[in-house]
Structure 1
């Protein structure tokens, strides 16, 4: 089930760390951001293909948003590997 999940993905780490620093449970964060608890859990566990609008609902709570980030030429070359 969690074969392709990445608990250490940047967004998963960011949300999990910010939630803990804010002394919030996953349930409290879900309630405060208007998303489901299951979504928060799956986001923190690095589930791929989550809906970006819901991710942004959570990131906005912490004053952030999803944005395109440039990658290095080396990273771009390694994408096909």
Structure 2
């Protein structure tokens, strides 16, 4: 699956609502600001990755990265 800022924002919003939390609740529990949560849920493409990961963790959302099978052959650094 290809993730986009919009799709991540939709998942965050849906999960937050399923948990019965407001945007303000999520901002407080994740240690981010209300404006950040609003922008994340709207799919803002320039949200800080560290904060996005914090919000996902707070909501119990797991994000996985799958490296190509030939990645180790191409990467020397």
Report the TM-score range of the alignment, normalised by the length of the smaller protein: 0.7 to 0.9
Q: How many residues align?
A: 64
**Given that residues 56 and 65 in structure 1 are in contact (C-alpha distance below 8 angstroms), is that contact kept between their aligned partners in structure 2?**
no
Alignment of 1:15-34 (within 5 A): 15-34=12-31
CA distance in structure 2 between the aligned counterparts of 1:26 and 1:17, rounded to whole angstroms: 11
Give the helix-richer structure, 1 or 2. Answer: 2
TM-score by length of 2: 0.72
Unpaired runs of at least 5, structure 1: 1-5, 71-81
Task: Give 1:49 deviation, angstroms.
Answer: 1.3
CA distance in structure 2 between the aligned counterparts of 1:46 and 1:29, rounded to whole angstroms: 16
Alignment of 1:1-80 (within 5 A): 9-69=6-66
Unpaired runs of at least 5, structure 2: 68-77
Task: Give 1:39 deviation, angstroms.
Answer: 0.1
TM-score by length of 1: 0.69
Task: Give 1:61 deviation, angstroms.
Answer: 1.1
The structure having more radius of gyration, on CA atoms, is 2
State the superposition RMSD in angstroms.
Answer: 2.0
